Amino acid sequence: MRFVEKNRLLLLPLCLVALSGGWVSERSWSTEQADRDWPVWVDAEESQRQRIAAVNEGELEFLHEPPPEPVHHHRSRIVITGQSLADGWVLMEQCHERLDRVAEAQIVFNPGRTRSLEVLSFQNMDMAFVESNTIQLRGIREASKICARLETRALHSLGMRIFELRNGPFMRRFLDGYYPLQLSIQVEFPPDLELVDHAPESQPGCAVRTTPGFIDVEALFQGELRTRFKFVANQGRVNPLPTQSHR
């Protein structure tokens, strides 16, 4: 899954700074007067420029400490059924909370591996609707939330009764940079499957907890994150998928 913000309003303050940059030098101010009259937004935009200069360009980086302000939270629940072992399609329900307050944004899914996409609910935004393999969002306000349901062909057979669930890349992208994203994934799978490997592994910024039939992942990161969970099917209990190439 890819979350792509299409809004361009961040360009506006930067243009204002550029267009207004000469006005300070046109006056001769004392330091005391400059401190008193210096607009607060100039300091804010300078801080914003510094953040943009240090922006992540896509490399995965787990964050050991949360950012000072709450970030976009992406929650996904994935259900593998017996039928999933036959055709590769799994059920996914996901919610996005604390989206950035922008005029337009979109949530993008792989067009060849997505079907039955629907919006379940949304709040604190003007509009949310499905368009092809995307969910289009309009007028996002503070404390926003949207929940959706879909089927995704994310389960792959590697042969020898081995299956791999692949998801991602998960990302929060704006213009040319990547910003922190909080990700929660829960995977439910039938007793016919045994989890034997997964990536990423538990580490600072990423916690992976497993019990029979259940996986729970909590991650805080920036860049692009892909997850992989490898299962072995109990002999004689399932009809595996035809072997698929690893992509």
Domain ranges of the chain: 1-247
Specify the pLDDT at position 56.
59
Average pLDDT on 212-239 reads 89
CB atoms within 10 A of CB 61: 14
Rounded CA gap, 90 and 206, in Å?
24
Query: Is-above-0.75 flag for pTM?
Result: no
Q: For the segment 139-170, what is each residue's pLDDT rounded down to a tens digit?
A: 999 999 999 999 999 999 999 999 999 999 99
Count CB atoms within 10 A of the CB of residue 231.
Answer: 23
Please tell me which residue, 48 or 229, carries the higher pLDDT value.
229
Tokens 């490399």 -> residue: 59
Across 204-230, average pLDDT: 97
**Mean pLDDT, all residues of the chain:** 80
What pLDDT, on a 0 to 100 scale, did the predictor assign at position 43?
Answer: 57
How large a percentage of the chain has pLDDT more than 90?
Answer: 66
pLDDT in tens, 170-180: 999 887 789 99
Q: What angle do CA 198, 202, 207 make, to 5 degrees?
A: 105
What pLDDT shows up at residue 55?
60
pLDDT at 25: 20
Q: How confident is the model at residue 228 (pLDDT cuts 50, 70, 90)?
A: very high
Domain 1-247, what architecture?
Answer: Sandwich (2.60)
What would the two tokens of residue 117 be?
């996409």
Structure tokens at 83: 């039928």
pLDDT of the residue at 57: 66
More confident residue, 54 or 231: 231
Task: Please provide the DSSP assignment of the chain as one string.
Answer: -EEEE---TTHHHHHHHHHHTTTGGGS---HHHHHHHS-HHHHHHHHHHHHHHT-B-S--EE-SS--SS---EEEEEEE--TTHHHH-EEEEEEEEES----SEEEEE--GGGEEEEEEEEEEEEEEEEEETTEEEEEEEEEEEEEEEEEEEE-EEEEETTEEEEEEEEE-EEETTEE--EEEEEEEE--TTEEEEEEESPSBTTEEEEEETTEEEEEEEEES-EEEEEEEEEPTTT--PPPP----
User: Among residues 154, 227, 161, 223, which one has the least CA distance to residue 194?
Assistant: 161
CB atoms within 10 A of CB 23: 9
Which phi and psi angles does 116 have, rounded to 5°?
55, 40
Peptide bond into 169 cis (omega under 30): yes
